Structure 1
Amino acid sequence: MHKLVLVAAFASFIAGPAWAVECTPITKKQVEGLFDRWNASLATLDPQKVVENYAPDAVLLPTLSNKPRVTQEERKAYFKDFLKKKPQGKIDSRTIRIGCNKVTDTGLYTFTMADGTKVPARYTFTYEVEHGKWLIASHHSSAMPEHKN
């Protein structure tokens, strides 16, 4: 019996700190601010500013391209073209789920382009903490499949 207690105590001592995960706190209001930060970067019309919101290994499945963007250069190339339309997004509805160092913001948004065109779409942003900053780990956006007449 004493050997079992000793083994358990030793395993706890060794594994304890190594397995401890510290969760970075975030509120729903702060998650909403992450979208606002991304949307404000669109307004700069600078693809580099937009890309700075994404983790280096993020996946972007964009609305207006069939190609997944998995590098910063690919994302920058996508936003270079997308920003020519001077898009501004507005959240129509959302569901936010907060976990330990990971957040998901999923819902509907509408982009208004400089020419007045409105593009309603579905979205999912997954954010993760990297070096103390919340960055987009994945972003999926797709135009709404049903057209209103």
Structure 2
Amino acid sequence: MRTIIAAALVLGFVQVQSAAAAAETATCAPTSEAEIAKLFDRWNTSLATLSPQEVAKNYSEDSVLLATLSDKPRLTQAERIDYFEHFLVNEPKGHIDSRDIKIGCNWAVDTGTYTFSLKDGSKVPARYTYTYEFKDENWLITSHHSSMMPEK
């Protein structure tokens, strides 16, 4: 009986150690500031499709969208699609004015200012933060905060 208990304890210890070692040796996806900057271009190109579903594909299932023209946090794909159904009516085209990119192991943050040009000719200057995570061989938005500039 003692042998069985000892074997179970050793096996459990080895499994815990193996899991810990695997977590410590996570493979980091190679990336660069240029590649992370292109993620905004991918998102902006998806806006041009005028398809809320296409835009939503840029976001992870558990991402948070704090959108420019909405007071409601969008926590699900359905809520993000709902936001983009309304936002895309304006046919927005984004342009980065300034940015700062930080990169870590399978994550990145792109923060700065951008301006949206809308179909009526108006422009909406805003500040933004995108956080990205490399999941399932793809960079996805895990949070996106955008707010209009407070000064006019």
- The two structures have a TM-score, normalised by structure 2, of 0.87
Q: SS of the residue aligned with 1:135?
A: strand
Q: How far apart, CA to CA, are the structure 1 residues paired with 2:22 and 2:83?
A: 42
Cα–Cα, structure 1 residues 21 and 63, in superposed 2: closer, same or farther, change >3 Å?
Answer: same
C-alpha distance after superposition, 1:26-60 (max 9, x if no partner) = 11110111000000000000000000000000000
Q: Specify the alignment match of 1:115 in structure 2.
A: 120
Q: Specify the alignment match of 1:93 in structure 2.
A: 98
C-alpha displacement of 1:19? 2.9
Pairs within 5 Å for 1:68-107: 68-107=73-112
Return the letter of the residue paired with 2:94. Answer: G
C-alpha displacement of 1:130? 1.1
Pairs within 5 Å for 1:26-45: 26-45=31-50
C-alpha distance after superposition, 1:77-123 (max 9, x if no partner) = 00000000000000000000000110000000000000110000000
Q: SS of the residue aligned with 2:84?
A: helix
Identity of aligned residues (%): 57
Selected match of 1:146 from 125, 131, 151: 151
Q: How far apart, CA to CA, are the structure 1 residues paired with 2:151 and 2:22?
A: 51
Q: How far apart, CA to CA, are the structure 1 residues paired with 2:58 and 2:65?
A: 12
Unaligned residue ranges in structure 2 (runs of 5+): 1-13
C-alpha displacement of 1:138? 0.2
Q: How far apart, CA to CA, are the structure 1 residues paired with 2:52 and 2:61?
A: 15
In the alignment of these two chains, the number of paired residues is 137
Matched, 1:51 2:45: no
Cα–Cα, structure 1 residues 100 and 85, in superposed 2: closer, same or farther, change >3 Å?
Answer: same
Q: SS of the residue aligned with 1:106?
A: strand
Q: How far apart, CA to CA, are the structure 2 residues paired with 1:22 and 1:59?
A: 25
Q: How far apart, CA to CA, are the structure 1 residues paired with 2:23 and 2:110?
A: 30
Q: SS of the residue aligned with 2:21?
A: helix
Runs of 4+ in 1 over 3 A off after TM superposition: none
Q: How far apart, CA to CA, are the structure 2 residues paired with 1:26 and 1:54?
A: 18
Unaligned residue ranges in structure 1 (runs of 5+): 1-9
